[in-house]
Structure 1
């Protein structure tokens, strides 16, 4: 299957399309531009060191998507998840707001196509994806912005397409649970949102995305203060 090249966003659209919460804004994009190279070095370029649950969820996502369909890694960062999904046999396009992260992604994962854009206005045609993946890419976004993203996820998914969302769990996603001021060896300014699985599923459900499965994993190590949630949904036909 040949994937048509996504259109480029205008500068105005890039401003409007920021997927981060208003409390972060351009500072979040700048933070990821700053840490891009360090992130790739410290976190790694693949998923080999991740917990078995993560790899299992990604395999279920790929196998639940229609054979031969293009899947999108939305908020792809340095492309390590997109590269792993590509290795599972899927055709992948990655989208991210950070030019710095995309430069690293294109260098390290040449077999994946990447495009610049925000998750509230994706540079993708309607119905073009058989699957969409948001791997912790909503963690800097309020409930209101996740709702706007959900509308875009539903738009770019084909009828019956699968959405997989990984996120940090917590009691309430209406305000940042914390702020990250230093990460990957650099000063950053990143709001961190956590929300219950039921709330995430409900937000996505407003846009015709129906939950089919969920996994809750307890925290591992000191770097994870809360459980991690994974929800698989399908766009109504």
Structure 2
């Protein structure tokens, strides 16, 4: 499948809210502000060469989009996945809570538009996205917050729009499976949630997001727990 050339985003697609970070999520925002530069140095600007499953999922996601549609990379971090999608010919806007991560993203991926925002109240107009991507961006959030995010994913997607979620798989998502205390050379304090695939699908389905495919990658050396990838569609 070939993609049309990227187009400029309309003002309503970029943001309908203040570009200042919201008040919620101070611990997560502060941790990622602290590690932003180190994260970019250690992880790199693009998708790792060995991330075959990840690239495969993103390729299917990109080919599932309506032609000419825009994707929101929600919780985009340093923009490496947004940049990868842009390289596939997809128009992308990235949203993240951390100003530090957004500064790195804007520096390293000038071809992508970025906006500050909380995933529980996205700074995007309703129905403007052909696709939404939550690439490991729910892993620090409680079930209640993920439910709020699911409502926002459904709101910003056009009818028939596609959602892609990457997450950590585990037996119980009702509480953190671990606390991340040190990352990328810095002290942080971040809860890490690992969710059952069926539970996450059921949560998303309550907001009109129906599963179309799932992949679970079993643990390997660089990632000691199973990783889940979901594709879903918003009801037409």
Structures share fold, TM-score greater than 0.5: yes
Which secondary structure does the structure 1 equivalent of 2:10 belong to? coil
C-alpha displacement of 1:50: 4.1
> Does the 8 Å contact 2:19/2:117 carry over to 1?
no
> Does the 8 Å contact 1:131/1:163 carry over to 2?
yes
Aligned to 2:9: 3
C-alpha displacement of 1:10: 7.1
Which secondary structure does the structure 1 equivalent of 2:139 belong to? coil
CA offsets per residue over residues 38-74 of structure 1, 9 Å max, x none?
0000011000424211000000000001110000100
C-alpha displacement of 1:4: 1.9
Aligned to 1:62: 62
C-alpha displacement of 1:148: 0.5
Aligned to 1:81: 81
Aligned to 1:14: 22
Q: Give structure 2 stretches of 5+ with no counterpart.
A: 1-6
Aligned to 2:234: 235
Instruction: Give the alignment of 1:37-186 within 5 angstroms.
Output: 37-186=37-186
C-alpha displacement of 1:28: 1.3
> Take 1:50 and 1:67, find their aligned partners in 2: how far apart are those partners?
29
> Take 2:17 and 2:42, find their aligned partners in 1: how far apart are those partners?
30
Q: Give structure 1 stretches of 5+ with no counterpart.
A: 19-24
C-alpha displacement of 1:177: 0.4
Which secondary structure does the structure 2 equivalent of 1:14 belong to? coil
Instruction: Give the alignment of 1:211-230 within 5 angstroms.
Output: 211-221=211-221, 223-230=222-229
> Take 1:133 and 1:90, find their aligned partners in 2: how far apart are those partners?
12
> Take 2:57 and 2:34, find their aligned partners in 1: how far apart are those partners?
30
Question: Which aligned segments of 4 or more residues in structure 1 are displaced greater than 3 angstroms?
Answer: none
Aligned to 1:22: none
Which secondary structure does the structure 2 equivalent of 1:133 belong to? strand
> Take 2:169 and 2:128, find their aligned partners in 1: how far apart are those partners?
30
CA offsets per residue over residues 106-158 of structure 1, 9 Å max, x none?
00000000000000000000000000000000000111110000000000000
> Does the 8 Å contact 2:77/2:105 carry over to 1?
yes
CA offsets per residue over residues 7-51 of structure 1, 9 Å max, x none?
34276x812xx4xxxxxx411110000000000000110004242
Which secondary structure does the structure 2 equivalent of 1:138 belong to? coil
> Does the 8 Å contact 1:8/1:115 carry over to 2?
no
CA RMSD of aligned residues (A): 1.3
